[in-house]
Amino acid sequence: MTTNEKNNNPLGEVFGFPIINETVKAKRYRDKKLCPFNNKVPNCTKDKANDPLGVCSVFHNNNPVITCPTRFREDWLIIENAAKFAFDEKTKWTSLSEIRLLDKNGQSAGNIDFVLVAYNDKGQLIDFASLEVQGVYISGNLRNPFDSYINKPSNKFTWTAGYNSPKPDYLSSSRKRLIPQMLYKGGIFQTWKKKQTVALQKSFFDTLPSLPTV
């Protein structure tokens, strides 16, 4: 990701590339509405499958802030690092995505973004852990600057800031999404004595209250 020194463009990455990137590959991804970050299908599906809001990150205080959870899948480093935390170094493991979690009453507790599964030489399950991925919610209107850029792509694209300009909403991202799901799902994993991991951007993490190290 790149920075935005002029602070007059809210679009950090569009279909995987900064708008200043005008390579053949970047133009192809924008034209075909493709996702380079291991989406479940080749195309971007954010917001609408037939008219995706292909913004991976937005600029805030000149720095890119990830808004799309799929953006974290680049090179699958989040899976690899979560496995390093959850299991011993020599453990064999694989991962599954979008696994439904049930509480003790058999009621849905939501989906787990990724379940890391450790297995032995016989292919038998010996351990598991979870990985949740959290982007940042946006306040304001992101569709308008995105549509304006897509209709006339330019590496000099600018957007006049206004009261409804898009910006990260860290408070809602933590209070309404991250913390409730971590408490609810975390209680279940704590009962199982299994590890739970979370992938989020450092700029988001820095807005959270001080967390104890255990």
pTM of the predicted model as reported, rounded to 2 decimal places? 0.90
Query: pLDDT tens, 95-106?
Result: 999 999 998 899
Q: Which of 206, 213, 195 is nearest to 173 (CA)?
A: 206
Q: Are residues 47 and 152 in the same domain?
A: yes
Q: Are residues 97 and 35 in the same domain?
A: no
Q: Are residues 110 and 159 in the same domain?
A: no
Q: Are residues 119 and 178 in the same domain?
A: yes
Query: pLDDT tens, 11-50?
Result: 999 999 999 999 999 999 999 999 999 999 999 999 988 9
Q: Are residues 181 and 115 in the same domain?
A: yes
How far is it, in rounded angstroms, from Cα 168 to Cα 155? 23
How far is it, in rounded angstroms, from Cα 55 to Cα 69? 11
Q: Are residues 151 and 174 in the same domain?
A: no
Q: Are residues 21 and 100 in the same domain?
A: no
Query: pLDDT tens, 128-187?
Result: 999 999 999 999 999 999 999 999 999 999 998 777 889 999 999 999 999 998 889 999
Q: Are residues 191 and 160 in the same domain?
A: no
Q: Are residues 153 and 200 in the same domain?
A: no
Q: Are residues 119 and 26 in the same domain?
A: no
Q: Which of 38, 36, 207, 194 is nearest to 137 (CA)?
A: 207
Q: Are residues 92 and 42 in the same domain?
A: no
Q: What is the pLDDT of residue 8?
A: 82
Dig out the tokens for 85 from the structure. Answer: 């935390």
> Can you give the residue range of the structural domain that contains 142?
1-68+135-168
How far is it, in rounded angstroms, from Cα 94 to Cα 87? 11
Q: Give the count of domains, the chain.
A: 2
Q: Are residues 4 and 61 in the same domain?
A: yes
